[in-house]
């Protein structure tokens, strides 16, 4: 990053969060390269593992990932053999999503690796700032979601 204190990008939360996200995605990809999973794919697998039989709409609510991205992630995970989709008895338009045995195996292997990546990210901060940082991120997200225009 440019050390020039007059650089407006150095004071832009949008820019710094974007750059942080890029660095985190690289760290995640390196930490889980053997599993060939993205952070969003892992989030969907975790949500399904905790709530077998969720609909894709439920996944949107639980993960915060937008509807079209969830649909794409589910399709990719299904192609990899990690998820299965079945129409629900209650509503033939709705799919229930479940982990396959391979999905369970991959999740068991990826879980500890993802936790190590999380810890590596938090280790970039002094220990006394980590909880404050997580609280600040949650607060930013909550406030922006609450004040976002409907449909975004």
Distances (CA, A) of 135 to 13, 28, 132, 140, 142: 16, 21, 5, 9, 10
The CATH number of the domain covering residues in 10-147: 1.10.10.10
pLDDT digit string, tens, across residues 35-78: 789 899 999 999 999 998 999 999 999 999 999 999 999 999 99
3 state SS of 139: helix
| DSSP structural state of residue 80 | T
Residue 34 has pLDDT above 90, yes or no: no
pLDDT digit string, tens, across residues 3-26: 556 788 988 999 999 999 999 989
Total count of residues recorded for the chain: 152
Helices 39-50 + 56-63 axis angle, to 10: 110
């Amino acid at each position: 990053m440019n050390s020039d204190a007059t650089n407006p990008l150095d004071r832009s939360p949008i820019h710094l969060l974007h750059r942080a996200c890029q660095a985190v995605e690289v760290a995640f990809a390196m930490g889980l390269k053997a599993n060939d999973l993205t952070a969003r794919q892992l989030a969907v697998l975790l949500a399904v593992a905790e709530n077998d039989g969720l609909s894709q709409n439920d996944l949107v609510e639980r993960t915060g990932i937008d509807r079209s991205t969830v649909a794409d992630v589910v399709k990719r995970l299904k192609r990899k053999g990690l998820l299965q989709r079945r129409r629900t008895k209650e509503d033939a338009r709705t799919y229930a999503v479940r982990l396959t045995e391979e999905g369970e195996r991959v999740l068991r292997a990826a879980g500890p690796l993802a936790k190590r990546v999380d810890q590596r990210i938090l280790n970039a901060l002094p220990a006394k700032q980590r909880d404050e940082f997580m609280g600040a991120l949650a607060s930013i997200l909550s406030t922006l979601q609450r004040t976002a225009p409907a449909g975004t």
